[in-house]
Structure 1
Amino acid sequence: MPIQWFPGHMASARKKAAEAMAAIDVVIEVTDARLPEASSNPMIAELRRFRNRPCLKLLNKSDVADPAVTRAWMDFYNRQPGVKAVAISAKSAAEVARIPALCRQLAPHRDDGVKPLRMIIMGIPNVGKSTLMNALLKRKVAKVGDEPAVTKHQQTLDLGPGMTLTDTPGMMWPKIEFDSDGYMLAASHAIGRNAVIDEEVAAFLADILLKRYAQPVAARYRLQTAGLDGPGLVEAVGRRRGCLVKGGGLDLEKAAQILLQDYRDGTLGRISLETPETRVAMIAEAWAARAAGAPQSDQARREDEDE
């Protein structure tokens, strides 16, 4: 089932962010290092390109992402004009402390001591924006929570002499184009649970784990992964962890939640859900499937033309 999630307050958040962009020098876009492209809101790129603003793209949660894959993504983004990509963990004070200087490098015209360097933090829900904001200001100014879309309001604060920082609510976009992006976002807890079915998301995640990270999964749950598919791995985890319902059947929802939480917490090791190569392959496969599919309805055709 395709996953879509666009709470009402996000439309207002986008409008306010667009207005704030006019008075901003540098956009700090926070993404999840485990799925950097799937967690990049295309509306953010649209807004900053319209205003011709440089972007410091932070691949946050790099401490739980596959380091080789993260390096590949940084190479990918650093080839884009006006973009500087850096891998960080917002929990590391030393890594966070580098950010203002990196922003100054992207806006050298603001290094004259006359006008302040104006930065804005943007990103989708639950990628660590609030944690980053609090770390930069060295005090709690943004509410941090495990559920997505905790921050609901935009605020601008002084970061230090000659620097201001605007924090924005997490923003999704109205239509997630590729189904796999929706599942990766749901697996990483960037989408509200009321919009997803945990068993389906866990099965999607399990397929990726079996293809690329079978060894740490086998070690974590002490099971043989050979011959398993995604749903089979969820069932195997449920059996190993004693996820049973009355009558002795498997509680697949509980098993799914165990697998998802272990991935989110980094208990399974340093895992990335997409690479630049798998991203290209996924998009090509998706477009090929659409080209080979049934004729679109007039409504669907109009939506594609609008995009």
Structure 2
Amino acid sequence: MDEQKRPLTTVQWFPGHMAKARRLIEENLKVVDIIVELLDARIPLSSSNPIIMGLIGNKPHIIVLNKADLADSGITREWIKFYKRMGKSALSIDSVKGKNIKELTQTIARLTEKQTSRFSAQGAKARSARAMIVGIPNVGKSSLINRLAGTIAAKTENRPGVTRAKQWIRIGKNIDLLDMPGLLWPKFDDPSVGLNLAFTGAINDDVYDKNNVVLSLLDFLKEHYPHALQNRFKLTEIPTANEDLLSLIGKKRGYLIKGGAIDEEKTITAVFTDFRSGRLGKISLESPQA
């Protein structure tokens, strides 16, 4: 990849470990009973990898909207209804606080009952359900696995691409979970997908122009969640120009450099951090009606 910063629409994101992740998924599909696809509740469409969907085929499949605590709860409910209308099993969770984790394990058990019970029907001991968990980087797979396992079973860091190899984790007595490395696709044909992945931190911040991306995020927030901006950054009014809004946020935070100009890097980081951590409030970037 060219080391020079480029507009997000031309980013090519497919390092060697991503190709390895795809091979691991393909090679291990035959040994699992069900696929647990973990999506970011704020961007269900953008975080659903078309490569993964192509690999899954007809395997039983659960859609899990993680980070529901960061998303607009009303829109998340609409997503669950949307998937269920399509005949898919879907639920929202908060893997950090443990919300709906029990419902997830019950759903896995229910959807794999046919596969696991056939052994006992033949006089053998029923085996555990084998589930593969897949998702893009930084969608919360490790946090979910640790919550399910009740221990530090998977390395967790708030940056994409930490899990690089497969690992089996025993979940209670009846589920064996196969964790796969996060997998992004090689090209974002839809610019909005690349932007959403950058907003939420699924793409490393050092591979795109952060100034252009943060201005796009501010533009979305101005249109859909203006009160979130006003409340978090103590704004009495929101400037029309996104550049002016970024500058005002920097001044409100006191991020100034010599001569009174704002520290742009520090201000951009603050906007990203406040959005990704939920300090701006519960915000969804996509809805099923869009």
Distance 1:236 1:94, change over 3 A: closer
CA distance in 2, matches of 1:134, 1:23: 22
Equivalent position to 1:224, from 236, 248, 256 = 236
What TM-score results when the alignment is normalised by the length of structure 2? Answer: 0.90
Equivalent position to 1:76, from 76, 79, 82 = 82
Q: Could you tell me which amino acid in structure 2 is paired with residue 266 of structure 1?
A: G
Q: How big is each residue's C-alpha offset from its partner over 1:244-263, in whole Å with a ceiling of 9 and x where there is no partner?
A: 22222222222111111100
CA distance in 2, matches of 1:222, 1:258: 14
Equivalent position to 1:96, from 85, 88, 101 = 101
| Mapped contact 1:239–1:250 kept (Cα < 8 A) | yes
What TM-score results when the alignment is normalised by the length of structure 1? Answer: 0.85
Which SS does the other structure have where 2:31 is aligned?
Answer: coil
Matched with 2:45 is: 37
Matched with 1:14 is: 22
Which SS does the other structure have where 1:135 is aligned?
Answer: helix
Matched with 1:282 is: none
More displaced stretch, 127-136 vs 91-100:
91-100
Higher RCO (Cα < 8 Å, 6 or more apart): 2
Q: Could you tell me which amino acid in structure 2 is paired with residue 210 of structure 1?
A: K
- Is 1:209 matched up with 2:217? no
Which SS does the other structure have where 1:98 is aligned?
Answer: helix
Matched with 1:23 is: 31
CA distance in 1, matches of 2:37, 2:54: 12
CA distance in 1, matches of 2:110, 2:223: 40
Q: Could you tell me which amino acid in structure 1 is paired with residue 89 of structure 2?
A: K
CA distance in 1, matches of 2:12, 2:24: 22
- Is 1:197 matched up with 2:209? yes
Q: How big is each residue's C-alpha offset from its partner over 1:85-126, in whole Å with a ceiling of 9 and x where there is no partner?
A: 101100133522222211122223035252331101100011
Alignment of 1:249-264 (within 5 A): 249-264=261-276
Q: Could you tell me which amino acid in structure 1 is paired with residue 281 of structure 2?
A: G
Which SS does the other structure have where 1:199 is aligned?
Answer: helix
| Mapped contact 2:93–2:99 kept (Cα < 8 A) | no
CA distance in 2, matches of 1:4, 1:250: 31
More displaced stretch, 13-22 vs 104-113:
104-113
**RMSD of aligned Cα (Å):** 1.6
Which SS does the other structure have where 1:170 is aligned?
Answer: coil
Q: Could you tell me which amino acid in structure 2 is paired with residue 144 of structure 1?
A: T
- Is 1:109 matched up with 2:114? yes
Distance 1:94 1:73, change over 3 A: closer
How many residues matched?
A: 275
Which SS does the other structure have where 2:86 is aligned?
Answer: coil
Matched with 1:63 is: 69
Q: How far off its partner does 1:269 sit?
A: 0.6
| Mapped contact 1:210–1:225 kept (Cα < 8 A) | no
Which SS does the other structure have where 1:121 is aligned?
Answer: strand
Q: How big is each residue's C-alpha offset from its partner over 1:51-88, in whole Å with a ceiling of 9 and x where there is no partner?
A: x112111111101100111111111222224x211011
Structure 2: runs of 5 or more not aligned: 1-6, 121-125
Q: How far off its partner does 1:163 sit?
A: 2.2
| Mapped contact 1:155–1:168 kept (Cα < 8 A) | yes
| Mapped contact 2:218–2:242 kept (Cα < 8 A) | yes
Alignment of 1:177-188 (within 5 A): 177-188=189-200
Distance 1:208 1:101, change over 3 A: same
Percent of paired sites with the same residue: 37
| Mapped contact 2:230–2:238 kept (Cα < 8 A) | no
- Is 1:131 matched up with 2:131? no
| Mapped contact 1:33–1:87 kept (Cα < 8 A) | yes
Q: How far off its partner does 1:166 sit?
A: 0.1
Q: How big is each residue's C-alpha offset from its partner over 1:103-159, in whole Å with a ceiling of 9 and x where there is no partner?
A: 122223035252331101100011100000111111111110111111111112322
Distance 1:40 1:33, change over 3 A: same
